[in-house]
Structure 1
Amino acid sequence: MFGAQDDAHDLIQMPLGTAEGKGVRALNWRLFPVFHADHFGLFALVLDDACNRYDTDMVWDIQSAGERDELVDQDRLIEKLEKANNQLAQSEKLAAIGQLAAGVAHEINNPIGYVSSNLKTLAGYVQDLLRIIDAVDEAADIEALQQLKRALEYDYIRGDIKSLINESEDGLERVKKIITALKDFSHIDEEEFRFADLHHGIDTTLNVVQSELKYKADIVKEYGELPEVECILSQINQVVMNLLINAAHSIEEFGTINLRTGNEGEWVWFEIEDTGKGIDPKLLNRIYEPFFTTKPVGKGTGLGLALSYNIVQKHHGRIKVFSEVGKGTRFCIWLPIRQPVKLNSMTDNEMNE
């Protein structure tokens, strides 16, 4: 028997009635040449009932519809996960700010306290100065006026007023600095990548967490030259804050926290190193797990490093940790200067090149 021919004329559609007389059934038929042993030719007729076949177009439609439904479900799930992650990030940020609130209040109350005290002292000085001024018109002679000035300690008042005003200005500047840092730090709704000064972000965060750090460590800054970096600065500030607070909590008495920055090619990096107790090597592979923490109850949420890791991943960066028990820990974060171009933002011509 010869194999079936694939030419178009070998495949013929022929309508035949059904056995039940219920309409027309389309049949395909083929003739195959067969040569008998006595060398005379025969033909074999093969009929193919096409009606019993699956409608392939329908199958593909069903499959495509199923795939579309599956993709829609995946998109919805991804959207829900993204929203949950954003809410978790904001919750962690607010929780961290809540932990700092008492310290920040203390930082603000200190300068406000002595500014208020200075104003009361200045109010007394003003009254004394007004008495001297009023005495100019009433004094019988210059000697009486000089005697009043000596009695009210005019020379001391004159010197102390200058000190009180300078001290009050410094206090108000401290309050202004803290409030500005909080304002810059708490851009919760910021979600767009912009070019920003990374050093400004780090310094802003240092001002916010100063109350947590100043009694635990000396801050040593070793800044390199950095270009502006395309990032969501408020989120990078949150990473810096989480690492600084962790560094402070790891120091049992008093130590040092080093902040370093640098630039290599198309990348910038910053690292935070402490002289704390370090991390057990057995726990290093778990530090980015949500809700995992080695801190005492009430000291941390266990979300700081997990969210920091997610933020760095969102910025197409990487985070590395180096730690030795008893000597300290160093976290190093690398960020691209410019974010990768998304494929959906490319033109058709660019994609075809």
Structure 2
Amino acid sequence: MKKIIDTLDNDTNAGLVIVDRGMVIRYMNARMAQWTGVTAGQALGASLALAFPACAAALQACLLDALPSGPHGRGAVDNGLPAKGLIQIPTPSGAIECMVCFPFTDIDDELSYAALFYDARDAEAFHRSFGSAINRLLRLQVEQQLLLLKLEHKDDHLLEVEKLAGIGQLAAGIAHEINNPIGYIFSNLRTLASYVREMLNLIDAVDTVKSLDEFRQLRNCPEYEYIRSDVESLIRESEEGIDRVKKIIGALKDFSHPEEPGYRPVDLHRCIETTLKVIANEVKYKAEVVKVYGDIPDVECNASQISQVLMNLLVNAAQAIDNFGVITIRTGHEAPWVWLEVDDTGQGMERSVASRIFEPFFTTKAVGQGTGLGLSVSLSILEHHGGSAEVDSEPGRGTRIRLWLPQTQSATAVPLETAG
């Protein structure tokens, strides 16, 4: 709206009034105030009927006629030009008799109307300046569309940057998850090394025995029996630790590795388990994870991208819990849709906050706890999959976010390219 106001104010010598769908005045320029004697303070927030009672009915009818269709609908545009009307607005110096009006949508996609008033005696000069203003607005619109197209081509890069930022946020926790098993593997190896030295000493001692009884006595020493029983336990624990590290690295690789563009049948439950392994350290100290899996079919999707969405939801859920709570993951199937929801017992949100969580750079987290892009990118991923998200939250009760994904993708579905 600001660009429209600035352009019309600067390029035309006209009075400008902007009203919303309810015919409430949202803007009036200084020129209009000077002509009519109605101050901006009197006009802003007032209805047309209150601000300009002598001509409100005719003015409203002309504004509504500017719509492409509607109760007055003769059509907004005649031969591509905004609607024109003859409206007499009383002024201290006489009446302004001519007006041009047109509808437009503001940044919130709300319908508004602009009405430009000018003296009929200056019609030729006004139309020249108005044509110049319209051309300038059209150029701005084209530039904006080109910028949007460029930003759309950046979607794949934004997706990868946000994913790497998310992994960066989790890096310390992932390192901790890997260091724990590596720590006891290292400890076990040191113990095994000492046992090997004991066994080598025992083998060397065999050369000095003079009888079978002496050998049996040497073999039956307490250290030998203890070492023999403990070695198996040490090896088993070390194998379990190596397997745990292998699973964490495998999950991290599955999560971070860019897939080929397109969709494939994916086991959603496996995606959940992979993501839980990657974020284990972020969750285990904050909440018990309860899984209530339904009987669901494979979902045609990009597994890496859906795992990224799950990571954002689960980490957000953990960070919303002050002490120790519960995060419940549920899945279900309502053909042709599959749904997945993350329900936490955290702080919850006011409705005004919940309605904005998918906006880029909007965050309620402390500095350093997120980029403000996680849920925005997540929604973009869902929409490219033909899916959607529902949020149900209340302060003190927690938050539930349900994701809906189509079981199969249509032939016309356009996947979000993954950078790589």
Aligned to 1:175: 245
1:97 counterpart = 2:161: no
Q: How does 1:215-294 map to 2 (within 5 A)?
A: 215-294=285-364
Task: Supply the AA of the counterpart residue of 1:183.
Answer: K
Aligned partner of residue 259 in structure 1, secondary structure = strand
Aligned to 1:317: 387
Q: How does 1:148-159 map to 2 (within 5 A)?
A: 148-149=218-219, 151=221, 153-159=223-229
Distance 1:213 1:343 in 2: 34
Larger deviation, residues 130-139 vs 75-84 = 75-84
Superposition deviation, residue 332 in structure 1: 0.3
Distance 2:322 2:313 in 1: 16
Distance 1:143 1:127 in 2: 24
The TM-score normalised by the length of structure 1 is: 0.73
Q: Is the 8 A contact 2:185 2:237 kept in 1?
A: yes
1:165 counterpart = 2:238: no
CA spacing shift, 1:73–1:338, aligned 2, 3 Å: farther
Superposition deviation, residue 146 in structure 1: 4.0
Aligned partner of residue 154 in structure 2, secondary structure = helix
* 1:97-146 superposed Cα distances (whole Å, 9 cap, x missing partner): 00111111111111111101101111111221232233334311234334
* 1:230-265 superposed Cα distances (whole Å, 9 cap, x missing partner): 111111101000000000000011111111111111
Aligned partner of residue 82 in structure 1, secondary structure = helix
One of 323, 326, 330 as aligned partner of 2:396: 326
Aligned to 1:46: none
One of 356, 374, 378 as aligned partner of 1:308: 378
Distance 1:256 1:334 in 2: 22
Superposition deviation, residue 226 in structure 1: 1.6
1:192 counterpart = 2:262: yes
Distance 1:270 1:260 in 2: 6
CA spacing shift, 1:343–1:304, aligned 2, 3 Å: closer
Q: How does 1:50-61 map to 2 (within 5 A)?
A: none
Distance 1:73 1:188 in 2: 32
CA RMSD of aligned residues (A): 2.3
Distance 1:268 1:311 in 2: 16
Structure 1, unaligned runs of 5 or more: 1-68, 345-353
Structure 2, unaligned runs of 5 or more: 1-138, 415-420
Aligned partner of residue 316 in structure 1, secondary structure = coil
The TM-score normalised by the length of structure 2 is: 0.62
Distance 2:210 2:285 in 1: 59
Task: Supply the AA of the counterpart residue of 2:318.
Answer: A
Identity percentage over the alignment?
Answer: 56
CA spacing shift, 1:102–1:195, aligned 2, 3 Å: same
CA spacing shift, 1:337–1:74, aligned 2, 3 Å: farther
Distance 2:410 2:151 in 1: 23
Aligned to 1:139: 209
Distance 1:92 1:315 in 2: 18
Distance 2:164 2:250 in 1: 17
* 1:318-351 superposed Cα distances (whole Å, 9 cap, x missing partner): 100111211211110010011122299xxxxxxx
Task: Supply the AA of the counterpart residue of 1:272.
Answer: V
Aligned partner of residue 153 in structure 1, secondary structure = helix
Distance 1:192 1:155 in 2: 59
Aligned partner of residue 361 in structure 2, secondary structure = coil
Larger radius of gyration: 1
Q: Is the 8 A contact 2:259 2:302 kept in 1?
A: no
Task: Supply the AA of the counterpart residue of 1:136.
Answer: V
Larger deviation, residues 247-256 vs 186-195 = 186-195
Aligned partner of residue 338 in structure 1, secondary structure = coil
Distance 1:200 1:232 in 2: 13
* 1:5-62 superposed Cα distances (whole Å, 9 cap, x missing partner): xxxxxxxxxxxxxxxxxxxxxxxxxxxxxxxxxxxxxxxxxxxxxxxxxxxxxxxxxx
Task: Supply the AA of the counterpart residue of 2:311.
Answer: M
Q: Is the 8 A contact 1:190 1:234 kept in 2?
A: no
Aligned partner of residue 138 in structure 1, secondary structure = coil
Distance 1:191 1:240 in 2: 19
Q: Is the 8 A contact 2:265 2:298 kept in 1?
A: yes
Superposition deviation, residue 188 in structure 1: 2.6
Superposition deviation, residue 77 in structure 1: 4.6
Distance 2:271 2:210 in 1: 64
* 1:279-308 superposed Cα distances (whole Å, 9 cap, x missing partner): 122212111111011111111111111111
Aligned partner of residue 319 in structure 2, secondary structure = helix
Q: Is the 8 A contact 2:386 2:413 kept in 1?
A: no
CA spacing shift, 1:75–1:232, aligned 2, 3 Å: farther
Aligned partner of residue 329 in structure 2, secondary structure = strand
Q: Is the 8 A contact 1:132 1:145 kept in 2?
A: no
1:201 counterpart = 2:271: yes
Aligned to 1:84: 154
Distance 1:155 1:343 in 2: 67
